[in-house]
Amino acid sequence: MIRSDKIAIKDIVVFLGHEIIQIYGNYKDCWIDNVASLDKVNKHTLDWINVIRTDKQAIADNSSAQCILVDKEVVYSEILQKKQKVLIVVDNPRKTFAKIANYFFVHQKRGDIHPSAIIDKMAIIDKSASIEAGCVIGKATIGKNSIIRANAVIGDGTIIGEDCLIQSGSVIGTDGLGCQREADGSLVKFPHLGGVIIGNMVEIGSNCQIARGALSDTVISDGCKINGLCFIAHNCFLGRNVWITGSSMLAGSTHVEENVTIYSKVIIREQCHIEKNAVIGMGAVITQKRIPAGEIWVGNPAKKHRDNE
């Protein structure tokens, strides 16, 4: 159970705005002070019911919570009316719950640089950003309200936008490893002189590695979410709102368009182009150079499974 001070439902209503379809019950004096798992719900928990449940009405009727997020299939029954419950009707209660919990219950420390952090004198860090213990910050730029968790390394030439979260142990701006061979087989490493550009509202999970570009930049656009243990190679481009789950690897110059989802332990070949709204299934190995928009690909080597409806 995660607790907070009293939060008035009327303030949540203002926060959600047009996302609310309808409200049942008198919420004017109703309040919450916690979010919790199903077995720990009490009167002042913000409860929610997943759209995929087949027993939504029974869950609502029997919930201990005063206020419940539901979809349109849950009706304001006589039971709910007698208990003076408040129903907030939205399209996707899980998504709406996440927004409320992030806004009202997740309290991030802002504007603090831990004394153990090592920061280059040429780094530009907004006064509202936070740098935690053991971080190493090179000649980088970090924007408003961004948080760099403990022991992360931000290399030279990295630009991080506003409201970003870089989790512990991640390394942003490493050299890539493009090589050429001499006649005798020895390797000549190609120089990596570019940077890493990270947009706004991006989250990079723990122990990720993002390589700087060779002659241009590696780009992670606004709203991207990348889970832990991922590797993004040099010169990759991620469009807006790309979601990559854990332990996936994108080889050099991969281009991913907006709203693509890449599930865990995926490997994507170099110079692959993944078009918008595509989904790459868990464990897939992409050997194709192009994945068309709106398709789901799975397997090793990956093949089209179906359209993403």
Q: Which residues are catalytic?
A: 234
Element containing residue 230 per DSSP (H, E):
none
> Which burial class, exposed, middle or buried, applies to 121 when counting CB atoms under 10 A from its CB (0-12, 13-18, 19+)?
exposed
Between CA 188 and CA 193 the distance in angstroms is 15
Between CA 43 and CA 5 the distance in angstroms is 15
In this structure, are residues 291 and 307 in contact, taking their beta carbons and an 8 Å threshold? no
Which residue reads 């995926």 in tokens? Answer: 266
Element containing residue 27 per DSSP (H, E):
none
Q: Long-range contact list for 87-90, CB < 8 A, 24+ apart?
A: 87/22, 87/23, 87/24, 87/25, 87/60, 88/9, 88/12, 88/13, 88/16, 88/20, 88/23, 88/27, 89/20, 89/21, 89/22, 89/23, 89/24, 90/16, 90/19, 90/20, 90/21
**Residue 24 CA to its chain's centroid (Å):** 32
Q: Which residues contact 179 (CB under 8 A, 6 or more apart)?
A: 187, 188, 189, 190
Strand order in the sheet with 285-286: 118-119, 136-137, 153-154, 171-174, 209-211, 231-232, 249-250, 267-268, 285-286
